[in-house]
Amino acid sequence: MEYRKLGETNLEVSAITFGAWAAGGWMWGGNDDNEAINAMKAAYDLGITSIDTAPIYGQGKSEELVGQAIKDIARDKVQILTKYGMRWDLAKGTFGFKSKDNEGKDLDVYKYAAKESIIKECEDSLKRLGTDYIDLYQIHWPDDSTPIAETMEAILLLKEQGKIREAGVSNYSASQMEEAEKTIKLASNQAPFSMVKRDIEADIVPYCIEHHKGILAYSPMERGLLTGKMKPGQQFGEGDHRAGLKFFKDENIERTNAFLAKIKPLADEKNATLGQLVIRWTINRPGITVALVGARNAEQASQNAKAIEIKLNDDEMAFITGELDKVHLIN
């Protein structure tokens, strides 16, 4: 495994980090708890020492499973990355969206990052995770109802208390990062980035490179699209959020698969799967520190971890990116 420092901090994370959203089951049509725990353990055994989660993932369930998966590992050998600022248990802040929980009950999700809410959220996360500190604490989404300074003052307090090591943001714009840094030094921004979703290359990537911030790329496999296993007419289970996304329109699946067919010979040459080639390309991109990759079971987790073994030279990176530049998905 490769380990990289987040920004200018001393926090080292694995270049491939376990993304534990699906572990919570929520918005993924459910999940098997034991399989999720085994996936995290298998990832750790292959050098993936960092796990990214959030309270909203399964309304606490993902964090609890992370806590179970790491309970027998020395605390300083694993990095816990979690978030705050999305509440499902009170109606305050900026309304986010309507959803359903794992039992099918209606759920209203709010973006709320006021000081007293963050202090409570941190305590709840620490309990669920079974730890006394969080390595990277990230605001999940911007909250328009709370001044960024108030949010970051709470994070500064938590850092002073030793409850968190470093402060991060997620889904923040460059200007929001700049505002946050008036109060606290940020380690990173967690942002959506994949071969077919490269919007952040316009502003977030240049900003983070210039200001020495890490970028944690989430959904680098575009929720399974880039495995090459999706086919037109793909059916998703009830409660699976992918059903409504543009990436899974039949025409976009066809266009993506046509691109993947062009790079498959390179994957074959490297004795790698398409997924592994995608992960390696992602962590080789300028400014990208980490790829957050989920896994449903130990086998998937092992496959993801082995992506680190692939090496891509400049010509191979240019070939992949050149083919990508020809792909145009419809909205």
Q: Give the residue numbers marked as catalytic.
A: 57
Q: Which sign, positive or negative, has the C-alpha torsion 160, 161, 166, 169? A: negative
Q: What is the DSSP string of 155-217?
A: HHHHHHTTSEEEEEEES--HHHHHHHTTTS-EEEEEEE-BTTB-GGGTTHHHHHHHTT-EEEE
* Rounded Cα distance, 52 and 214, in Å: 14
96 within 8 A of 141, measured Cβ to Cβ = yes
Within the chain, residue ranges assigned H as helices are 33-45, 61-70, 115-129, 148-160, 174-180, 204-210, 250-269, 274-284, 298-305, 314-324
* Rounded Cα distance, 89 and 96, in Å: 13
Count of Cβ atoms closer than 10 Å to residue 179 Cβ: 16
Structure-block tokens of residue 244: 């409504």
Structure-block tokens of residue 3: 């380990």
Count of Cβ atoms closer than 10 Å to residue 207 Cβ: 19
50 within 8 A of 73, measured Cβ to Cβ = no
283 within 8 A of 16, measured Cβ to Cβ = yes
* Rounded Cα distance, 277 and 298, in Å: 19
Least Cα distance to 31 among 314, 235, 254, 296 occurs for 296
* Rounded Cα distance, 212 and 182, in Å: 16
Give residue for tokens 């039992």. 103
